[in-house]
Amino acid sequence: MKTRILQKRSGCRGVVDGRDVIIFSSNDYLGLSCHPEIIKAASEAAKRYGIGTGGAPGTTGTTDLHQELSRAIADLKSREKAVLFPSGYQANIAIHNSLASPETVYYLDKRHHPSAVDGARLGSGSEIIRFNHNDLTDLEDKLKSSEGRTNVVSLPSVFTVDGDIAPLDKIADLKSKHDFSLILDEAHATGCVGKSGHGLEEHFNLHGVADFIMGSFSKALGSQGGFVAYNSISEKQLKSGFRQFSYSTSLSTVSVAAALKALRIFKSDEDLYKSLQKAKSSIIEECRKQNIEIISHESMILLVPCENLTEALEKLLEDGFFVVPAKAYINDRRQDCLRITPMSLHSGNDIKAFADYIAKSVIQKRS
């Protein structure tokens, strides 16, 4: 697939490959990356601290702003502490690596993100067992074969490609029967899942079930960076400190200030998450009216099966809509789809125009 070049952006509108477009594929679900107050906070941080932090926490220390963001994200995830990383990828590497020992067995869903797999692979002498996607019977059978070892189950709350969610209620039941630590990856859940957008624990009303919550500031929070949040009691499970934290230059204060402001806006402006939910419902409703199939409604990642995908994407761009492709599982087979994501900034007219357009173009309709 062709690499698209973004040349300009303001909210859900932008210029891609020279075309003015409405963006219908972005992880900036809440439209915060272009929010004027956030841009102002980021600019002020650049003036106060400079762009780069000038060192890794293990050498030059940290800033008051990083400390504030740690507290704010720990608070959002109802945990006692949080450690910040330059990216969500690095946060996943760090938490998996820190739990590793020759006795550790990682259980990873077969569709988990590469960053979790890479993190588990780094674990010296640890074993990795992949279980079938969202198949708790398979997971339980595999857990039974490793009773007595240091078991770690690792799942994304929202699956990045397929857009479905992990069955945390059933995982919690398993956790009461078998001894394991749980890492929950909230990259696409923070700001997007749950009654008020706090994530999958909130969605299932199972607060505190995960031992470690990993997440990213680069999706709904519109900034950059990652985190791992946990309580002191879980800290005992860590076999080593977070090397990826101590020995990598800290997240830029520009990103930290932006993420901090984004969290404040997210918490104080209840309408923001409601607008995102409304945009999602409108996309689903407009697609239903046009008889366009959406294969999963569980998260903000909506997949529409599409034949002649390359051609369809080209046409969409030419006519003012930016959409990216996905190869999602449908009936146990990877199939070409449009990966459509609502943004809180999409208006009813944007959505109607988009659904009307995709109904007219080469989309496979429900029979």
Interacting residue ranges for ligand PLP, rule: CB under 6 A: 87-89, 92, 113, 115, 156, 160, 185, 187-188, 216, 218, 226
Alpha helices in 230-367 (DSSP H): 232-235, 243-246, 253-268, 270-289, 309-318, 348-360
Label residue 216 left, alpha or beta by phi (over 0 means left) and psi (-120 to 50 means alpha).
beta
Local structure of residue 307 (DSSP, 8 states): S
Q: Tell me how far, at minimum, the Cβ of 101 lies from ligand PLP, in Å.
A: 23
Given a contact cutoff of 8 angstroms between Cβ atoms, the answer to whether 239 and 98 are in contact is: yes
Q: What is the dihedral of CA 252, 198, 343, 93, to 10 degrees?
A: 50
Q: Which is nearer to ligand PLP, 33 or 218 (CB)?
A: 218
C-beta closer to ligand PLP: residue 157 or 282: 157
> Alpha-carbon distance 227 to 204, whole Å?
22
Give the residues across from 42 on adjacent strands.
Answer: none
Of the pair 45, 259, the CB lying nearest ligand PLP is at: 259
Nearer Cβ to ligand PLP (104/154):
154
Between CA 186 and CA 214 the distance in angstroms is 6
Q: Tell the smallest beta-carbon distance from residue 116 to ligand PLP (Å).
A: 7
Considering the complex, state which of residue 53 and residue 218 has its C-beta at the smaller distance from ligand PLP.
218
Task: Evaluate whether 233 touches 85 at the Cβ level (below 8 Å).
Answer: no
CB 152 within 8 A of CB 128: no
Contact of 165 with 298, CB cutoff 8 Å? yes
Decide whether 98 or 115 has the Cβ nearer to ligand PLP: 115
Q: Cβ 363 to ligand PLP, closest distance in Å?
A: 25
Nearest residue to ligand PLP, by Cβ distance, number only: 88
Count CA within 13 A, CB hemisphere, residue 215.
30
Q: How far is the CB of 187 from ligand PLP (least distance, A)?
A: 3
Instruction: Using the minimum distance from each CB to ligand PLP, give the nearer residue, 214 or 351.
Output: 214
**Bridge-partner residues for 306, per DSSP?**
363
CB of residue 45 to ligand PLP, shortest distance in Å: 19
Q: Which C-beta is closer to ligand PLP: that of 70 or that of 92?
A: 92
Q: Which is nearer to ligand PLP, 306 or 326 (CB)?
A: 326
Closest CB 226 distance from ligand PLP, rounded Å: 5
| Closest distance to ligand PLP from the beta carbon of 224 (Å) | 7
308: left (phi over 0), alpha (psi -120 to 50) or beta: left
Q: Is the dihedral of CA 135, 140, 145, 147 positive or negative?
A: positive
